[in-house]
Structure 1
């Protein structure tokens, strides 16, 4: 049975990615702290890992070219926020750290969701959502 899932993500520069995500407040797995070959973002209470690898190494893993993030989206990472203010803060930090905002914070889904989106330095898209489950429409 599957126990864990790791997302492997290609990046142009491990140090630049580490700096960007560090400015956003992401935690890194200590095993890979001083490693130029990979970094591991730990996300959420369960410490879900997004592994960052240099593009050349990623190509070896997949045997394929890397998606051109200027022409299309290969994946949308959605992360949970504890409040609307946390959404706003993460988007502000992403923009200050050099990310591009593709969706400004706004109410969504009839108002029970509040979200925004940004791209990291490699063009990977991240969606930040706060969901007020008490306001979620009942079916």
Structure 2
């Protein structure tokens, strides 16, 4: 049975992408330095591997055209935060590092606080703080 999840994304400029994720505080995968051929991030607990490849390399894996994440939604990557302040901080870091907010930090459904940002390639991330004590039906 499978034991690991690797999410693969394309990048138009791997150096710029590396700098963006470094600036917002993502953890790099020490087992895969990647150099100019790839970028490997560790996200969450347990850790999920997010790999970013130059478009030509990514296209060779998929045998299909690479979607333009700046104009179409390819996937929404959602990550949990421990507090509203953590959501706000990540939104601010993403903006300062050259990303874009597509959803400003704010409350949702009375029990979630979230924001949405896109990296320089347009890949969309959703950052959520969930106060499950306020969740309906609890």
TM superposition score normalised by structure 1: 0.95
Please give the alpha-carbon distance, in whole angstroms, between the structure 2 residues aligned to 1:117 and 1:36: 28
CA distance in 2, matches of 1:103, 1:93: 14
Residue aligning to 1:132: 131
Equivalences for residues 49-128 of structure 1 within 5 A: 49-109=49-109, 111-128=110-127
Q: How many angstroms does 1:70 deviate by?
A: 2.8
Higher normalized helix content (fraction of residues): 1
Quick one: distance in 1 between partners of 2:72 and 2:24? 24
Number of residue pairs aligned between Structure 1 and Structure 2: 138
Q: Alpha carbons of 1:133 and 1:119: their partners in 2 closer, same or farther (altered >3 Å)? A: same
Q: Could you tell me which residue of structure 2 aligns to residue 45 of structure 1?
A: 45
C-alpha displacement of 1:6: 0.4
Is contact 2:94-2:100 (8 Å) kept? yes
Partner-residue secondary structure (3-state), 1:31? coil
How far does residue 9 in structure 1 lie from its aligned partner after superposition? 0.5
Matched residue, 2:20: 20
- Structure 1 residue runs of 5 or longer lacking an equivalent are none
TM-score calculated relative to the size of structure 2: 0.96
* Structure 2 portions without partners, runs of 5+: none
- CA–CA separation in structure 2 for the residues paired with 1:73 and 1:60: 21
- Give the superposed CA RMSD: 1.1
Summarize deviations over 1:106-128 as a string: whole Å, max 9, x none.
Answer: 1001x100001010000111111
Alpha-carbon deviation of 1:59?
A: 0.5
